[in-house]
Structure 1
Amino acid sequence: MKTNVGGIDKIVRIVIGIALIAWALFGGPVWAWIGVIPLATGLMGWCPAYGLFGMSTCPLQKK
């Protein structure tokens, strides 16, 4: 897996993921657990959807 998530994109994914998970933990809707996905992709630096569409926000992997 090549890194395809970089910079601001990575930070935004992590913040949104944590916010959604916290919301779910403190009585939010069940669907808020979807925050696990942006958190994981932000921490790993790889997004399968970006790979599928040939996209990258990582400056080292721009196409």
Structure 2
Amino acid sequence: MEQNMSQADRVIRGVSGIWLLSMSVGAVLDRRYVIGAITGIAGLGLLSNSVTGHCGGNAVLGIDTSSDASCSVE
């Protein structure tokens, strides 16, 4: 798998993944198991994207933010 995410994208997804996992724990403690499962799965997905630097959705859509040229302003 090639990396297709910029460093900023990886940080944002990592922070969002951690936040979703904490929300998942809170939901499970509040006995809202469906919400806990959904937020947990989403959080783990974002964290795996952040760790690997590869997003399957970006790959399918042809989006590559890993190069500086894609973020330049002309």
- The whole-number CA distance in structure 2 between the counterparts of 1:39 and 1:19 is 10
Q: How much does 1:13 deviate? A: 0.2
1:41 is the counterpart of 2:49: yes
Q: TM-score scaled by structure 1?
A: 0.84
- The whole-number CA distance in structure 1 between the counterparts of 2:64 and 2:22 is 28
Identity of aligned residues (%): 23
Give the superposed CA RMSD.
Answer: 1.8
- The whole-number CA distance in structure 2 between the counterparts of 1:9 and 1:51 is 14
Unpaired runs of 5+ in structure 2?
29-34
Instruction: Give the number of the structure whose alpha-carbon radius of gyration is greater.
Output: 2
1:3 paired residue number: 3
Q: How much does 1:11 deviate? A: 0.3
Q: TM-score scaled by structure 2?
A: 0.73
SS at match of 2:27: coil
Unpaired runs of 5+ in structure 1?
none
